[in-house]
């Protein structure tokens, strides 16, 4: 594929910023000196205050999760409560310091807040409905924060610790009667005080707000109204020292703040030299790559790898609902090759067939253990709370396999750890720790039984045997239209595309900040087979100037015509690892390489998750793809073959091209991949 148009062939020279500066200085002309401007007496003006004082109020939206059953030292309800929610009020005095026009500042809030909630109704063993609520769970809090205005504007974000002191902890427990016996006496309500409450809690918050000025700059005392919203994650917010309560809060409110500005002294008469500077246009190149049509509908026979991890939600040792869990009566009808009938409850949408396979990992494991009664496994639970919590996670998986598939308990060993054997969070790491720790909270399935494992794999860290699925591929990545704006990352704050067809219809795409963007041809053409387009790139420079470049291109829609079957294999990497694990080399050489047909094409796509820097992920994905290409080429060379064409792409963390989303840790783990598409000669 060749660029259709390429403006200004000059490279992005290292001395380019200096060249702009020299041109600006040379072209700058002093038009007039000693120009007298009379400034008439006017009403005094005042600066924005640096110190602000006021009050804030609003609502806390509280969300409880965990287990609540032992309400007091002497009172345990017959059935545990789990999820709860409620709205409580808060009221604080507020103090802020931030100099006018600066980005950094300081905030302090301290006052009263309610964390009231009502739990979801449960049913006791007597078939009686039971309710639990707390209208009086309250704290006195002190919340110092760093204030950051990223654009030196009225918009700001803030974050910092939260120190809370419990001042009220009353609850109300109500148990109804069995509806089948309406005449039975009602159980008295219980008004009590929660036991084992933590007297103080240290957690954190992050939020954003916007200052709306209510005063003119001619007033010394100025008033600001600030609506804001804040997020209080559950980290550190355990209200009690027993059970597994945790609390997440979203706060929404408004602050009214007052401050006194300083008078701006204005001279009666000043002399202003007028200087005109001619801005030099940044040098960028703009090119469009329009691919040829690929007239093929590809039927994909994919060997989908099974990640031998089950990821658990923070604060819970129960198998998450997004995993497919069977009833005992469904086991006899379970088939690996018909998993589309057992779809997960919380599937995100992208690559639905493939994630359906993964979310059935426990059922695939149980089915294989039934078929191979000599096989054994070790379930290793890893938890940031320690080995005991990790064992509880592993015990949940073991219980499911025993209760649903009837696996003998002696075939399943369990182990608890603080960190998995191959952790995502590395010592000394400081960035994106929340995402890394989500990936480390898991149960790893280990086995030494060959019947359960991938070909040529052995040892406790070996992946499970993959599942083969068949699907129809949509427009492939090589059919996307590419737009390359070399120099955009330094010249522009952002750029957009306007694409106009022969009838004058204009489509707009963007804004973008990257130098290269790929858009599916169908997004531009719609149902048209082809079209001639005028394509405009509009760049916004960092100084506010608009630069426009134009070209034209003929686009051809990718459309199915001749059916062919394509094979797909995948290699999954550990976090930040670009070298293929040695056990994959034999698999790629002995299993994948022989399936490449004569004169076929192998398209290799490297991907990463969203953790880490964008530039580093782009290099990492290309290194992974080239690593796989090297192994396949070596295998072909040993067989005396040179007839295969390779295409290698590294897409980094690009979420528009990633195989999966990045919402859950399992999706991020599957995105650390190289996908190998084997296409026969047309």
State mean pLDDT over 593-608.
Answer: 92
Residue 273 maps to a domain:
no
What residues contact residue 40 under an 8 Å CB cut-off, 6+ apart?
Answer: none
Could you tell me if 435 and 487 lie in one domain?
no
Residue 302 maps to a domain:
no
Residue tagged 């790898």 (tokens): 305
Structure tokens at 452: 């359960």
Could you tell me if 209 and 259 lie in one domain?
yes
State mean pLDDT over 45-57.
Answer: 90
Could you tell me if 514 and 601 lie in one domain?
no
- Could you tell me the end-to-end alpha-carbon distance of the chain, in angstroms, rounded to an integer? 18
Could you tell me if 233 and 173 lie in one domain?
yes
Among 92, 228, 116, which residue's Cα sits nearest to residue 170? 116
CATH number where 233 lies: 2.40.160
Distance (Å, whole) CA 30 – CA 381: 74
> Which region holds residue 298: left if phi is over 0, alpha if psi is between -120 and 50, else beta?
beta
* Exposure of 223 in the CB half-sphere (CA atoms within 13 A): 5
Which residue among 508, 531, 556 closes a domain? 556
Residue 454 maps to a domain:
yes
Other C-beta atoms lying within 10 Å of the C-beta of residue 58: 19
Residue 210: C-alpha distances to residues 146, 229, 363, 565, 568 (Å): 15, 10, 50, 56, 50
- Residue 503 domain boundaries: 286-293+475-556
**CA angle in degrees (0–180, nearest 5) for 511-516-519:** 70
**Omega before residue 511 within 30° of 0, cis:** yes
Residue 521: C-alpha distances to residues 18, 207, 474 (Å): 39, 40, 12
Report residue 334 CA to chain centroid gap.
33
**CA angle in degrees (0–180, nearest 5) for 521-524-529:** 65
Confidence (pLDDT) at 246: 86
Distance (Å, whole) CA 382 – CA 394: 9
CATH number where 546 lies: 2.60.40
Q: pLDDT exceeding 70 applies to what percent of the chain?
A: 81
Which residue among 462, 485, 510 closes a domain? 462
Q: Which tens digits make up the pLDDT trace of 72-102?
A: 999 999 999 999 999 999 999 999 998 887 8
Q: Which tens digits make up the pLDDT trace of 308-350?
A: 899 999 999 999 998 999 999 888 888 876 676 566 665 555 5
Q: Is the pLDDT of residue 292 over 90?
A: no
Could you tell me if 539 and 645 lie in one domain?
no
Which residue among 503, 525, 556 closes a domain? 556
CATH number where 455 lies: 3.30.1330.60
Q: Which of 160-164, 318-322, 476-480 has the lowest mean pLDDT?
A: 476-480
Residue 41 maps to a domain:
no
Q: Which one-letter DSSP state was computed for residue 623?
A: H
Q: Is the pLDDT of residue 10 over 50?
A: no
Could you tell me if 541 and 575 lie in one domain?
no
Q: Which one-letter DSSP state was computed for residue 238?
A: -
Could you tell me if 411 and 532 lie in one domain?
no
Distance (Å, whole) CA 643 – CA 543: 53
Could you tell me if 453 and 482 lie in one domain?
no
Other C-beta atoms lying within 10 Å of the C-beta of residue 209: 21
Confidence (pLDDT) at 279: 46
> Sign of torsion, CA 542 543 549 554?
positive
**Inter-residue contact 665 to 622 (CB < 8 Å):** no
Report residue 77 CA to chain centroid gap.
39
Number of domains in the chain: 4
Distance (Å, whole) CA 556 – CA 521: 7
Q: Is the pLDDT of residue 573 over 60?
A: yes
Could you tell me if 448 and 352 lie in one domain?
yes
Among 80, 381, 383, 89, which residue's Cα sits nearest to residue 245? 80
pLDDT interval class at 373 (50, 70, 90): very high
**Inter-residue contact 77 to 69 (CB < 8 Å):** yes
Could you tell me if 112 and 251 lie in one domain?
yes
Distance (Å, whole) CA 98 – CA 52: 9
Could you tell me if 252 and 366 lie in one domain?
no
**Looking only at Cα atoms, what is the longest distance across the chain?**
100
Strands 296-306 and 562-572: parallel
Residue 12 maps to a domain:
no
Residue tagged 């022989």 (tokens): 594
Residue 16 maps to a domain:
no
> Which region holds residue 195: left if phi is over 0, alpha if psi is between -120 and 50, else beta?
beta
Distance (Å, whole) CA 229 – CA 208: 6
Residue 272 maps to a domain:
no
Could you tell me if 81 and 220 lie in one domain?
yes
Q: What is the mean pLDDT of the chain?
A: 82
Distance (Å, whole) CA 247 – CA 232: 9
> Which region holds residue 25: left if phi is over 0, alpha if psi is between -120 and 50, else beta?
alpha
Q: Which tens digits make up the pLDDT trace of 398-456?
A: 999 999 999 999 999 999 999 988 888 777 666 777 888 888 899 999 988 888 888 66
Residue 238 maps to a domain:
yes
**Inter-residue contact 475 to 298 (CB < 8 Å):** no
**Omega before residue 346 within 30° of 0, cis:** no
Supply the DSSP string of 457-521, one letter for each residue. --STTPPEEEEEEEEE--S-GGGSEEEEEETHHHHEEEEEEEEE-TT--EEEEEEE-SSEEEE-H
**Range 462-493 burial, b when 16+ CB lie within 10 A, else e:** bbbbbbebebeeebbbbbbbebbbbbbeebbe
Confidence (pLDDT) at 654: 85
State mean pLDDT over 490-514.
Answer: 86
């Amino acid at each position: 594929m060749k660029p259709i148009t390429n403006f200004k062939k000059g490279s992005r020279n290292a001395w380019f910023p200096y060249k702009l500066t020299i041109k600006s200085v040379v072209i700058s002309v002093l038009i007039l000196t000693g120009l007298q401007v009379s400034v008439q007496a006017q009403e005094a003006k005042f600066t924005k205050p640096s110190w602000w004082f006021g009050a804030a109020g609003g609502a806390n939206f509280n969300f409880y999760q965990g287990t609540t059953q032992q309400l007091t030292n002497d009172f345990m309800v017959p059935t545990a409560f789990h999820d709860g929610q409620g709205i409580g009020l808060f009221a604080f005095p507020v103090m802020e310091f931030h100099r006018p026009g600066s980005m950094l500042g300081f905030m302090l809030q301290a006052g009263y807040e309610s964390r009231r909630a009502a739990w979801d109704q449960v049913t006791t063993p007597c078939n009686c409905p039971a309710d639990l609520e707390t209208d009086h769970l309250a704290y006195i809090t002190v919340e110092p924060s760093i204030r950051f205005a990223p654009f030196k504007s009225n918009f700001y974000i803030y974050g910092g610790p939260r120190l809370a002191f419990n001042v009220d902890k009353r609850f109300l427990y109500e148990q109804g009667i069995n509806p089948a016996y309406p005449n039975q006496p009602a159980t008295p309500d219980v008004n009590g005080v929660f036991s084992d409450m933590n007297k103080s809690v240290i957690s954190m918050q992050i939020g954003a707000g916007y200052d709306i000025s209510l005063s003119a700059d001619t007033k010394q005392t100025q008033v600001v109204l600030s609506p804001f919203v804040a997020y209080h994650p559950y980290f550190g917010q355990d209200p009690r020292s027993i059970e597994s309560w945790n609390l997440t809060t979203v706060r929404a409110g408004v602050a009214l703040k007052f401050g006194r500005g300083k008078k701006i002294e204005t001279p009666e008469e000043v002399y202003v030299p007028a200087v005109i500077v001619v801005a030099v246009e940044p040098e960028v190149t703009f090119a469009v790559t329009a691919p040829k049509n690929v007239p093929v509908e590809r039927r994909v026979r994919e060997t989908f790898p099974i990640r031998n991890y089950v990821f658990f939600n923070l604060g819970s040792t129960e198998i998450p609902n997004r995993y497919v869990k069977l009833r005992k009566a469904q086991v006899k009808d379970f088939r690996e090759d018909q998993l589309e009938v057992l779809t997960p409850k919380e599937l995100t949408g992208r690559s639905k067939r493939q994630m359906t396979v993964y979310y059935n990992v426990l059922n695939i494991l149980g089915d294989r253990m039934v078929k191979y009664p000599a096989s054994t496994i070790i379930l290793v639970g890893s938890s940031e709370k320690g080995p005991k919590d990790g064992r509880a996670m592993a015990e949940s998986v073991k219980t499911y396999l025993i209760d649903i598939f009837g696996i003998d308990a002696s075939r399943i060993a369990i182990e608890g750890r603080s960190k998995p054997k191959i952790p995502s969070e590395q010592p000394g790491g400081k960035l994106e720790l929340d995402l890394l720790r989500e990936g480390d909270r898991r149960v790893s399935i280990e086995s030494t039984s060959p019947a359960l494992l991938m070909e040529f794999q052995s040892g406790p860290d070996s992946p499970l045997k993959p599942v083969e699925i068949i699907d129809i591929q949509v427009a492939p990545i090589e059919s996307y239209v590419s737009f390359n704006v070399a120099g955009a990352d330094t010249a522009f704050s952002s750029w957009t595309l306007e694409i106009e067809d022969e009838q004058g219809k204009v489509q707009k795409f963007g804004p973008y900040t990257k130098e290269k963007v790929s858009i599916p041809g169908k997004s531009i053409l719609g149902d048209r087979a082809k079209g001639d387009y005028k394509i405009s790139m509009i760049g916004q420079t960092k100084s506010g100037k608009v630069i426009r470049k134009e070209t034209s291109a003929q686009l051809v829609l990718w459309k199915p015509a001749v059916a062919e079957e394509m094979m797909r294999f995948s290699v999954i990497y550990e976090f930040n690892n670009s070298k293929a694990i040695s056990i994959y080399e034999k698999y790629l050489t002995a299993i994948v390489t022989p399936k490449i047909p004569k004169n076929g094409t192998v398209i290799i796509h490297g991907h990463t998750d969203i953790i880490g820097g964008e530039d580093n992920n782009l290099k990492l994905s290309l290194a992974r793809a080239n690593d796989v290409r090297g192994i396949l080429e070596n295998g072909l060379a040993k067989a005396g073959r040179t007839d295969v064409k390779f295409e290698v792409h590294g897409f980094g963390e690009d979420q528009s091209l990633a195989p999966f989303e990045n919402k859950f840790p399992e999706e991020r783990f599957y995105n650390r991949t190289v996908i190998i598409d084997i296409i026969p000669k047309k």
